[in-house]
């Protein structure tokens, strides 16, 4: 009876956590053939633990206090790994004093070197080839950390996003399932506070992260085939020196966030609060991303002030999720999303089979809000686009819903929604019986060129160039503009210098008044988008001969001047 009383509170707490996170939809339907299936945990270990990692303050290596004590429901000690002493590991930079402090953990814990460390640092199957290092490693069992404290901690970490430099305060790997309740994390400088690798699972509830600095993902970096659940938690002033101010999500990870707030986060490059890449799936439910920033005005390719999703299988913004007051020094002030791209470089973090992945599915519920975000500056593709969201190639989404939820955003181009240009058309696409007039008012050929992106969104602020040559075909063109039956369209020379250029307006339309003074015959006008030579539209123009009552100009045979009042030309074209 005594044993049953001792187990009941722990079991009840674990059951409560399971019920809370079961409210979020399962990701089984999102699985892709290119992702490694998750292995079921083999350990029967279950324990409730307390943790304190208190450092000496920013720029000061060492620990003021380290304590980890556990109470196992199965009577087993919890195996943990501690900072690596490998000469190839960044943790080797840590002082001997700090490593000695880590040896002095509390009750119910056994230091399992190198077993736990090897399980956690091992590359994830089919995903990352590089390890993640940390002060403490959890590698097996169901562990609940109640009210853990991590603060004033300084760890050596790299200023680039290479995985061999990843140094976390706590690493969850192997088949461990760690539930964190009531965490208080303040003033931590490391690659990330919690690193999640292999098939491990981490859940955070009622937790607060403040003033964390890392790279990538100052609060949590999850990768491989791991699982992350976050509920009722706050992330404030998280900063990354590269990607993902608060969270970095890679590999085939499955992430669900609900009832949480990300406030004032920033990244020197992309993903002010979230950075998502490769084949991950992410759902944000009733979550707010506010006042976050991607880029510092100096780094290139700074995109996604709130969220950067450069790949992934699924991105859901549901149940009143709000993305407001975010800023990107590039495209996608609130959100930047594009589908998985081919990837063959397996020396870098990621899944090499991304080229076989399906398109990224972006789902936005009608009660979500994307508003008052801002995209500034630009990159190699030109001025920034999509103050609210930029939706790039290889994705699917509902245009009507996205159009409804994205309002009152600002950007140099496409204030609310920016997309990759995909269709260029011209109206009219054929003109017959045309003759130019010599004066400015009558001499132009007026056309409208429309540029649209995915979902039918207008692509404004793009330069449209018009090209044509001065060679007509040999077919005869009658006075009425008609052509003989045996005529054919002239072969056009490749475009060189554009004859006219006009930018598309906010509706994606460029109104062009072509100064078209070509001789009688059939001509082809080609319209191209600046920087996107694959997009083109053609206009066929049949220039007629001058009629009676018109005078053909000697140096411009395609120009027909109307005879002055009081005179008349009885011979056609003379």
Distance between first and last Cα of the chain: 117
The whole-number pLDDT of residue 325 equals 98
**How far apart (Å, rounded) are the C-alpha atoms in residues 145 and 454?**
46
Structure tokens at 249: 């999500």
The whole-number pLDDT of residue 386 equals 95
The whole-number pLDDT of residue 477 equals 38
Structure tokens at 137: 């490693």
**SS3 for 340?**
coil
**How far apart (Å, rounded) are the C-alpha atoms in residues 347 and 350?**
9
Whose tokens are 């001047």? That residue is 561
Cα four-point dihedral sign 42, 43, 44, 50: negative
SS (H, E, C) 243-270: CCCCEEECCCCEEEEECCEEECCEECCC
**How far apart (Å, rounded) are the C-alpha atoms in residues 177 and 166?**
21
The whole-number pLDDT of residue 487 equals 36
* Bond from prior residue into 82 cis (ω within 30 degrees of 0): no
The CA–CA distances, whole Å, from 297 to 141, 164, 268, 269, 270 equal: 45, 28, 9, 9, 12
Structure tokens at 330: 């590039």
Q: Per-residue pLDDT for the chain (574 aa), expressed as one digit of tens each?
A: 333 333 344 444 444 443 333 433 443 333 344 565 555 556 788 999 999 999 888 777 778 888 999 999 888 899 888 876 554 455 555 666 666 777 778 888 888 877 776 666 655 444 444 567 788 889 889 999 999 999 999 886 544 444 345 678 999 988 899 999 999 999 999 889 999 988 899 999 999 999 999 988 999 999 988 999 999 999 999 999 999 999 999 999 999 999 999 999 999 999 999 999 989 999 999 999 999 999 987 777 799 999 999 988 999 999 999 999 999 999 999 999 998 865 443 334 444 443 455 789 999 999 999 999 999 987 766 789 999 999 998 899 999 999 999 999 999 999 999 999 999 999 999 999 888 877 655 557 899 999 999 999 999 999 999 998 754 443 333 444 443 333 334 344 445 688 899 999 999 999 998 888 888 889 999 999 998 888 999 999 998 888 877 877 777 777 888 877 766 665 555 4
CA atoms within 13 A on the CB side of 496: 4
Strand-pair partners of 48: 71, 144
- Per-residue exposure over 521-560, b if at least 16 CB sit within 10 Å of its own CB, e if not: bbbbbbbbbeebeebebebebbbbbbbeebbbeeeebbbb
Choose among 195, 253, 251, 245: nearest CA to 217.
245
Choose among 333, 465, 310, 334: nearest CA to 412.
333
CA 364-293-225 angle, 5° bins: 55
**How far apart (Å, rounded) are the C-alpha atoms in residues 254 and 31?**
9
**How far apart (Å, rounded) are the C-alpha atoms in residues 521 and 466?**
19
φ/ψ region of 239 (left if φ > 0, alpha if ψ in -120 to 50, else beta) reads: beta
Residues across the chain: 574
Task: Kindly state the DSSP code that residue 209 receives in the 8-state scheme.
Answer: E
The whole-number pLDDT of residue 199 equals 85
Q: Cβ distance 297 to 270 under 8 Å?
A: no
The whole-number pLDDT of residue 519 equals 84
User: What's the predicted TM-score (pTM) here?
Assistant: 0.82
**How far apart (Å, rounded) are the C-alpha atoms in residues 306 and 295?**
11
The whole-number pLDDT of residue 382 equals 78
**How far apart (Å, rounded) are the C-alpha atoms in residues 202 and 192?**
14
């Amino acid at each position: 009876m005594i044993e049953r009383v001792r187990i009941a509170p722990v079991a009840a707490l674990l059951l409560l956590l399971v019920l809370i996170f079961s409210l979020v939809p399962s990701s089984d339907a999102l699985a892709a053939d290119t992702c490694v299936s998750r292995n079921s945990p083999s350990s029967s270990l279950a324990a409730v633990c307390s943790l304190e990692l208190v450092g000496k303050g920013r720029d000061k290596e060492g620990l003021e206090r380290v304590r980890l004590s556990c109470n196992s429901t199965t009577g087993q000690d919890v195996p943990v790994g501690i900072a690596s002493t490998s000469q190839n590991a960044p943790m080797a930079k840590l002082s001997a004093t700090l490593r000695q402090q880590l040896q002095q953990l509390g009750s119910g814990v056994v230091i399992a070197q190198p077993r736990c460390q090897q399980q956690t640092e091992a590359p994830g199957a089919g995903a990352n080839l590089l390890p993640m290092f940390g002060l403490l490693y959890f590698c097996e069992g169901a562990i609940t950390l109640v009210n853990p404290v991590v603060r004033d901690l300084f760890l050596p970490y790299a200023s680039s996003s290479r995985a061999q430099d990843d140094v976390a305060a706590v690493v969850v790997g192997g088949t461990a399932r760690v539930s964190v309740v009531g965490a208080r994390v303040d003033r931590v400088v490391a690659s990330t506070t919690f690193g999640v690798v292999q098939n491990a699972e981490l859940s955070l509830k009622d937790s607060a992260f403040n003033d964390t600095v890392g790279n990538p993902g100052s609060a949590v970096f999850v990768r491989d085939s791991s699982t992350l659940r976050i509920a009722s938690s706050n992330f404030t002033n998280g900063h990354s020196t590269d990607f993902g101010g608060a969270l970095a999500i890679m590999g085939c990870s499955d992430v669900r966030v609900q009832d949480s707030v990300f406030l004032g986060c920033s990244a020197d490059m992309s993903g002010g609060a979230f950075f998502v890449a490769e084949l991950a799936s992410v759902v944000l439910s009733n979550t707010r991303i506010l006042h976050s920033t991607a880029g510092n005005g100096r780094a290139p390719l700074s995109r996604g002030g709130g969220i950067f999703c450069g790949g992934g299988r699924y991105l859901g913004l549901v149940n009143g999720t709000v993305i407001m007051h975010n800023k990107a020094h590039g495209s996608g002030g609130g959100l930047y999303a594009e589908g998985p791209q081919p990837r063959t470089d397996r020396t870098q973090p990621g899944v090499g089979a991304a080229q076989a992945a399906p398109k990224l599915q972006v789902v936005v519920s009608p009660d979500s809000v994307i508003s008052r975000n801002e995209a500034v500056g630009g990159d190699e593709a030109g001025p920034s686009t999509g103050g609210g969201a930029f939706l790039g190639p290889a994705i699917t989404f509902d245009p009507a819903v996205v159009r409804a939820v994205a309002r009152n955003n600002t950007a140099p181009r496409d204030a609310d929604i920016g997309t990759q240009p995909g269709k260029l058309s011209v109206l009219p696409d054929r003109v017959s019986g045309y003759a130019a007039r010599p004066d400015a008012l009558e001499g132009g050929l007026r056309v409208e060129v429309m540029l649209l992106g995915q979902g039918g969104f207008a692509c404004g602020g793009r330069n449209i160039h018009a090209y044509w040559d001065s060679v007509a075909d040999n077919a005869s063109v009658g006075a009425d503009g008609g052509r003989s039956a045996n005529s054919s369209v002239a072969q056009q020379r490749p475009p060189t210098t554009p004859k006219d250029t006009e930018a598309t307006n906010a509706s994606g339309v460029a109104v062009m008044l072509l100064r078209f003074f070509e001789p009688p015959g059939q001509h082809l006008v080609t319209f191209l988008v600046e920087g996107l030579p694959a997009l083109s539209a053609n206009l066929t123009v049949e220039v007629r001969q001058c009629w009676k009552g018109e005078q053909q100009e000697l140096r411009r045979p395609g120009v027909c001047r109307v005879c002055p009042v009081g005179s008349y030309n009885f011979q056609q074209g003379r």
